[in-house]
Every structure is written in C-alpha cells, then in structure tokens.
Structure 1
C-alpha cells in the first residue's frame, strides 16, 4: 500500500514507489545527512569488510568481529543504519531490487542505475530535459501556479541528474514563456528589474498578483456583457445605461471598436435631437432605441460566435501539441530503454569473453602441468 511519509516525521525517510526518482533522491540525501555525519559519507565511499593477514606473505582474510577496531565497528554500524534507512524508504517492489546488495553504497548505486541509467543514458535524459525546458510555454488557460509547477519539475530533474539550471536562467525562461495576455507585465518587469539577481519566488508572486487582478477585471466585464445580453422590455430601456454598456463593450472587443463608438454617437445624437425638437414623439424615439438595441445584440452574437470558434481552434491546437509532446516522450523513453538493454547485453558479452579467455588460459596452464608430470613420472 502506498505511503506518504515525506513530512510525517524528521525520523522517517521519504517514501519512494518508483515515481519521481530525482525528487526522492534529493530528499533522501538530505534525510541521511540529517541523521548522522557518517551515514551519507559511508554511501559515498562504501563500506569494506575488515581483513587481516596471518603472515606478511599470506593473502588477506576476513577479520573476526571480535578483532574489529572501534572505527571499524562504527563504520559497519553506519552502513547497516544506511541500508535499513533505504529499506524503510522503499515500496515492496523497489525494496526487492536491493535485497541482495551487500552494502548501502551498492544499494544506492543500483537504484541510481535503475532509475537514471548509466552515464550515456543520463546524458540523453538530460539533453531531453534541457530541450523540454527551452520549448516550454505557458498556455492562455493555464494558471501561474500550474506553469510554475511544470517548470520546476523539469529543473528539479536536471538537478537530480547532476546539471542544475541556474535561477536567473529559470527567471528569464519564465518571463519569455508567458502568453500574450501577460506581455505588459513582462515588459514592465524586464525594464524595472535586474533579471540576473531577480528571484524566482518574487517573480511568481508578482505574476500571481497580476493574474488575480486580471481575472477580477475579466469577471466584471463578463457581468457587464451578460447584463447587456439580457432580454429587456424596450419601453423600459434606459438610454444612459445603454450608452455606458455599449462604451464598456467597446473596451473589451477591439475588433468592433469603431462600430460601438458609432452606436454611442448615434444614441447621443438622437437624445440631443429629442431635447431640441419637441415634434419628435416618444414612440419614434422608442423605435430608434429598439433598432440600436437589436443591432447591438446581433453584433454581440457574432462576436461570441467568433470567440467560440477561436477557443475551439486553440483547444484543438493545444490537444495536438500535448499529444505530440507525449509521443516524443514515449519515443525517447523507449529509445533509452533499448539503448540501456543493448549496453547491458554488451557488458554481459564482454564478461563472457573475459571468462572464456580466463578458462582458456587456465586450460593451457593445466595442460603444461600435465605434460610436465608425464615427463617426470617415468623418471
């Protein structure tokens, strides 16, 4: 059963079930370093079983535990604690990988090779992540928090593979990846701030504030437009409200700015003519208002239709881009897996070749010894 104990206790190692290895690796290193000074160093250098020589010319043999020095006992205890910490942090599936590893260093390296690959695979993964970082953009319908999370996820993986991306590069990437609706804020920050020293947290905070104000403004405009769209009794239609709403609409719909201004001007002219010319009846004025109101409704309907078409196209474009990105990641993953398999097979083949050469050499040596024995036997 999955467990999430990352923040449950400082004495509990972060849980790992095979997902997001780069993040777990950083957290596990911090955990080991927080326990004892030697826990992480014993993983880095590795523990070696103490040995001794019975004579100066004899080969080393394992030293009995009763003869271990205090330092040797301490190193062994640290290695055992480090191994146990790894066992406690892993899921059943991941724990089985390191069951037969004799030391904490061997366990750590096996997990690292399994989830990061060898140097060549790591280099390929890093190249793919850097490319993904460079191509990242924020969608119009995406929040600042969501984009920030995606960006940090990629940079954390780069850091886990040993190639961290500097903060000023992340800040500049964040600004350049913003959608057109953030252009004014982007320009203001670039002119006012030194991007080489500007922190990512401060940038994200400013962007979230701007996003909040922008959404509030969009909501107010939406309420104004929805009020204009309501079916109203023409006899109750208020001239001043119509003029204000039409003017407000012109601010939100740049493609129809001239038409809206014309409508407002026409309405104002009709109003002034009514006040100056007593011969115009109220019925004629009402008819004029009705015509203007219907024309505005038609214009709004066309605008909304174009908005829907644009949104549909944007959605389709986003879907295609996401599908393409997913396929690229899938292909890259399969390619890396095949490369890793080929390298493993090559290593196994080389090991077999070395074994054959060793056996051949041993065979030649035995044959020579046998011939020598045959020559000595008659004598």
Structure 2
C-alpha cells in the first residue's frame, strides 16, 4: 500500500492575470504528485489565468461569490471542503482569510495555512476604522492558524498586525524557471524590436506590470525623458501590461514624445519576447511584496532599477548588485540610475549577477521545495 498523498487546496479570490496567480499556477503545477494532490478554489471566478495551470490533475472550483464577507460564503467553502476532504487548506490574502478560516473550522479535518503577499489587510484605500477592524480580526484569526508569505517585508507587516512571533511565519520567496534557453533570446530580441520599430543599437528600458496606480509607471516616463539629454543614443520605454492607468500613460507618453518613445503593447501572455528586447528592467512601484516580474527580468539576464519597496533591496543588492535601488517616487534618483544604466559595461556587470542570483535563490524548484517541506511538516505535526 502506497504512502497517502497530502491533499492541498489553494484558495484565491480569482485567477486573474497577475504575479500571485502566476505563483499559484507554478505551485499547483510543480508540487510532487508522488507526495501531493492539488485543488484550487476560486471564491469569485476562475479567470483568464487558468491557462497557466497546465497540470491536468488539478481540480479548479469556481464558487461565484462576490466581494464582502458572508455566512453564505462560509457554507459554500465548507461544502466544497467536505467533498474534497483535504489535509491542508491554504488561503491567500485578506479577501480569503475569514471565509476560509470558518469553512475549515466547520469542516474540521484540515489544517488552515494563510499566506499574505504584498499589501496586507487588502486595499490601502480603505479607511482607518475599517483597517483597524480588519487588523483586530486578522490578529484573532492568525493566532490559530499557520502563516506564510513570499517576502520578509510582508512577514514584518504580518507580525506587527498579528503581534505574533516572526519565527511563526514561513517565508518562502517566489521562484521561477527561465521560459526560454539563453541561445533563443538574441533571435527573440531582434524580432520583437523589429515589431516595435526599434533598431538593434537603440537603448530600451521597460517593465512588465499591471498598469495601475501602485505601479507608478508615470515616474518611469518622466525620469527617462529627463535623462534623455545625457544619453547619446535614442531611448525607448516598453510598458507591457494593461490596466486602469492606460489612458493616463498614453497621454503622458504623448507629452514627452520628443524625448522618449513609449510603447504600450498591452497585456501579453508571454512577456519574455519583450523582456528579451529590453536592456534594463524598471520597477517604480509605491508598494510591493516580492515582484514576480523582477524575478522574470533577472532570469532573462536584465539589470534592474527598482524602488526601495518590499524586498527589492534584498533581491538585487545582496550580496552583490544586480541593479540599482532608488527611493520610492524619487524622480531625480531614478533619472540618475537610468543615466548610469546607459553605460553598456555597467549593464553587463549588473546583468551577470542578476541571472546568477535568480538561478541560485529565486528558481522554481527552490520555491516548490519550500512549500513541500512546509506542508509536510505541518501535516506531520497534526
């Protein structure tokens, strides 16, 4: 008789396109099938990112619940858990915490693990009273469950809110594998640049992100326009993604069209051809946990300029430099960093370490093994 596999149910609000959803897909695909069985519950809808889950044995369940806490949601989760009979239920972010907590308690046969990634307690736009209530609720719930996160900065936020010991939180960084071998990148670079109307010798900065306020991509346009007089070759900015700030970015790009050419190719299921076309990756976020796109950029051999939010400093400045870290929303500092990156020898130096660090620390196997060890330890102690 074989060893019983640990059944893990991953709970998310939706499987939209984003960094967390990419992590969910990587984890669902990557967990050892000799030791684990995987299901995914979407409280709202499954969403377009379902295509990232390529393993054919992962059951995807859509509950069709809308935002806002309700006992109906708890009942729906309980019913699904009773059918699936999992060993571990792993919820993600504030929007899934309470319903999963009560659903898992009612089911009674699974260990609840909660993961926070990026912004803790949901949107930063909620008022102080709501955040205070959420903090008290999270503090109450998280004393009774296991905790995990992908970033040390988020772990510190969680401990501050829950008043629990930092050692209780399993910090497992994001990880991924390069999507293409290195020898395919030059051809990909040439064809993507040709499609964008960018010549071989022109300098390209870029980013892959949801075009939202928190990503602060307007800063990249303004800073690169300010840097342009000091850079000898023509410069381009490629912003891959879609989101609510698209129209604003288009207007700002037109205002600076004489200094920098901005390309907005929209959302791309495969951003790697665009990463291959770039010379420098830029992350301007106001807030971040651990950027999945930054890891993809490092895997593609790109030097990085990043604002000092989340774990950016940990990712690209320790022990050597994979890029330049600047203060958040500091246009002058970002301008100077872009001017520095116009030097090809500087870019090569940063890029070499970026690729090495990604493959040593932020590879997919390391991330998956981290979760396998955590799940096994938790299940064994139950």
Bucket of the pairwise TM-score, normalised by the shorter protein = under 0.3
User: Larger Cα Rg: Structure 1 or Structure 2?
Assistant: 1
Relative contact order higher in (CA < 8 Å, ≥ 6 apart)? 2
Q: Give the strand-richer structure, 1 or 2.
A: 2
Between structures 1 and 2, the one with greater helix share:
1
